[in-house]
Chain A
Amino acid sequence: NAGVTQTPKFQVLKTGQSMTLQCAQDMNHNSMYWYRQDPGMGLRLIYYSASEGTTDKGEVPNGYNVSRLNKREFSLRLESAAPSQTSVYFCASSTGVGYTFGSGTRLTVV
């Protein structure tokens, strides 16, 4: 099925560990996004990529890095996880007429 695929769906990390969240879309969208969702805080943009080869910071980029590997894939890396990064992470893609979201990654940092 066409859409946005995120892996993994669940992850538990220890403080200081690193990991990469993967996101791939098969809709030929130019723009891709990483959001985090926390209770009472809505969706906050971490990083986005307006097109292949470009990335830009969003509202809450500290502690994260991204790579737009090609048009399909946009990964999010936590170099040294902290408990404050416990959240649900969503990847989305867009042509500018609305976003398509992945089903999310629930990350817990202990």
Chain B
Amino acid sequence: AQSVTQPDIHITVSEGASLELRCNYSYGATPYLFWYVQSPGQGLQLLLKYFSGDTLVQGIKGFEAEFKRSQSSFNLRKPSVHWSDAAEYFCAVGNKAGNNRKLIWGLGTSLAVNP
């Protein structure tokens, strides 16, 4: 079955510390992979995406993610967290082939940042 797992429901880090949010997926076809961020009371905003090529992708706000096919993972990282990064983060996977554009979503990881 197709699924996305974000093992950490909630993470707290100190401002300036590094961050890694985990995402594992189970998907039969070659995947598109996405990370989205949702600030409180807002819609979701695309942070970065992986389609093909370089497995380390750069996104907005200083985030990056690495696609590891052997581990079925697409972890999100940031070297130094800012207080404004406190938000909900969602990993998603989609079908690289065909016309079906539906994404499969993880349940999200809530990030809190201590001053």
Determine whether A45 belongs to the interface, using a CB cutoff of 8 Å to chain B: yes
Asked if residues A99 and B102 are in contact (CB atoms below 8 Å), the reply is: no
With contact pairs A101-B43, A101-B45, A103-B43 given, residues A42 and B105 touching in the complex (Cβ less than 8 Å): yes
Asked if residues B107 and A41 are in contact (CB atoms below 8 Å), the reply is: yes
Q: In the assembled complex, which residues on chain B have CB atoms less than 8 Å from the CB atom of A31? A: 101
Task: Mark contacts of B87-103 with chain A using CB atoms, 8 A cut-off: 1 yes-contact digit, 0 otherwise.
Answer: 00010001000011111
Determine whether B34 belongs to the interface, using a CB cutoff of 8 Å to chain A: yes
- Expressed in whole angstroms, the minimum distance between the Cβ of A61 and any Cβ of chain B is 13
* Interface size in chain A (residues, C-beta < 8 A): 23
Residue on B with the closest CB to A91?
A: B43
Q: How many A-B residue contacts, CB cutoff 8 Å?
A: 47
Task: Mark contacts of B71-115 with chain A using CB atoms, 8 A cut-off: 1 yes-contact digit, 0 otherwise.
Answer: 000000000000000000010001000011111011110000000
Asked if residues B105 and A90 are in contact (CB atoms below 8 Å), the reply is: no
- Expressed in whole angstroms, the minimum distance between the Cβ of A107 and any Cβ of chain B is 14
Alpha-carbon distance between A74 and B79 when the two chains are bound, in angstroms: 40
Asked if residues B49 and A90 are in contact (CB atoms below 8 Å), the reply is: no
Determine whether B44 belongs to the interface, using a CB cutoff of 8 Å to chain A: yes
Asked if residues A58 and B34 are in contact (CB atoms below 8 Å), the reply is: no
Task: Mark contacts of A47-85 with chain B using CB atoms, 8 A cut-off: 1 yes-contact digit, 0 otherwise.
Answer: 010100000001000000000000000000000000000
Asked if residues A45 and B46 are in contact (CB atoms below 8 Å), the reply is: no
Alpha-carbon distance between A62 and B69 when the two chains are bound, in angstroms: 36
Kindly identify, within residues 19 to 63 of chain B, every residue whose CB is under 8 Å from any CB belonging to chain A.
32, 34, 36, 41-46, 49, 51
**Residue ranges of A at the interface with B (Cβ–Cβ < 8 Å):** 4, 31, 33, 40-43, 45, 48, 50, 58, 90, 92, 94, 96-104
**What would 8 more interface pairs be, CB under 8 Å, given A41-B107, A96-B101, A101-B44?**
A42-B90, A42-B107, A43-B44, A99-B36, A100-B46, A101-B43, A104-B42, A104-B43
What are 18 A-B pairs at a CB distance below 8 A? A4-B43, A31-B101, A33-B102, A41-B107, A42-B90, A42-B105, A42-B106, A42-B108, A43-B90, A50-B101, A90-B43, A90-B44, A92-B44, A97-B51, A98-B49, A102-B43, A104-B41, A104-B42
